[in-house]
A = this chain, B = another copy of it.
């Protein structure tokens, strides 16, 4: 047991955000993975389910209902929930009471309006009081609050790409906030490691489609985030699409300028100090693969044909900056580490 290391627990480690957390934490010099639970796979060595982890992760999945698991989790410094929605809200209180910090990669603590949350997630919320105390873990927007947070709501993948893309424009107040459009495209891993027909290779492969145009769960989260950034209510049309990528989100954002501004300079200055937001040179187009496997967000800003419409292109890896990587970034902030520790990963290209 290493005194200098952060003792870490992961609840629900059999999905894509789970294996991605393990990939990152395995190489993190300050992380000590202590326990990882799974109801369905208790006893199975993690590396047997994910052979990519052979040689890096020796742990087996633990049954979370056992006393030992409880003891182990209580002894952690931080616990990540890599579970489906609705799990963390039932288990976080107990951990917090033991002084364990909690980072939820699901949506349980993301939306402050409980009624809104219950409408979109189709269940009663188990702990509205914890929602009020949770910090939304988008470091580029509220890093200071994350430092002291006991409970962090890790942002969704679409919300991360969209908020980082709109942020400079909204903070500077240079666009019409009533007519924002976010046309977003996600790789299939965004749907998780669940056995569902629409995510099959022979269904999602060589195919492109929009989905959830009438309403997607990330809409209220993005709307809330953009309103906090803009300091006023925003009007947003959000259209997600499924594209035959494994990893990657590409957000194409449209807004009407209502003030003249040097867009390139605006974006570069806003993100000058941000390790994980990279503003590309004028006239370029970020590719999703340029961030594959890394915690980077890359952004380019355009004003096509000199019109009033600004077009922002924002890409992330949905499993890293859109999930596990951002969670580790939040952990680093919470524990006073340099933000990039364990996240210095050159993207895999090709």
Contacts and interface: CB of A to CB of B under 8 A. Distances in A.
Interface of A: 16, 19, 23, 26-27, 50-56, 179, 181, 183, 185, 187-189, 191, 193-197, 199-211, 213-215, 219, 235, 237-239, 241, 243-248, 250, 252, 254, 256, 278, 280, 283-294, 296, 298, 302, 304-305, 307, 309, 311, 313, 315, 319, 344, 346-350
Contacts of A290: 51-52, 54
B208 A205 contact: no
29 contacts: A16-B202, A27-B346, A52-B289, A52-B347, A53-B346, A181-B181, A181-B254, A187-B202, A193-B200, A193-B202, A193-B350, A195-B196, A202-B246, A205-B244, A206-B289, A207-B289, A208-B245, A208-B250, A209-B250, A209-B286, A209-B287, A209-B315, A210-B285, A213-B313, A214-B305, A219-B305, A238-B304, A244-B244, A348-B348
Contacts of A256: 179
A253 to B, nearest CB: 10
Nearest to A282: B214
Given A188-B201, A213-B311, A241-B250, 13 more contacts: A16-B350, A19-B349, A26-B346, A51-B280, A52-B346, A52-B347, A183-B252, A188-B200, A188-B202, A199-B200, A200-B200, A202-B246, A207-B289
A343 to B, nearest CB: 12
A12 to B, nearest CB: 15
Contact of A302 (B194, B214, B284, B344): B214
| Shortest Cβ-Cβ A-B pairs, 3 listed | A52-B347, A52-B349, A188-B201
Contact of A215 (B183, B248, B304): B304
A195 B195 contact: yes
A279 B69 CA distance: 31
Given A206-B289, A302-B214, A313-B213, A241 B252 contact: yes
Contacts of A346: 23, 26-27, 52-53, 56
Nearest to A192: B202
B288 A51 contact: no
A344 to B, nearest CB: 7
A346 B23 CA distance: 6
A279 B205 CA distance: 24
Nearest to A348: B293
A209 to B, nearest CB: 4
A189 B209 contact: no
Given A207-B288, A293-B293, A311-B213, A195 B200 contact: yes
Nearest to A256: B179
Contacts of A16: 202, 350
A311 B236 CA distance: 12
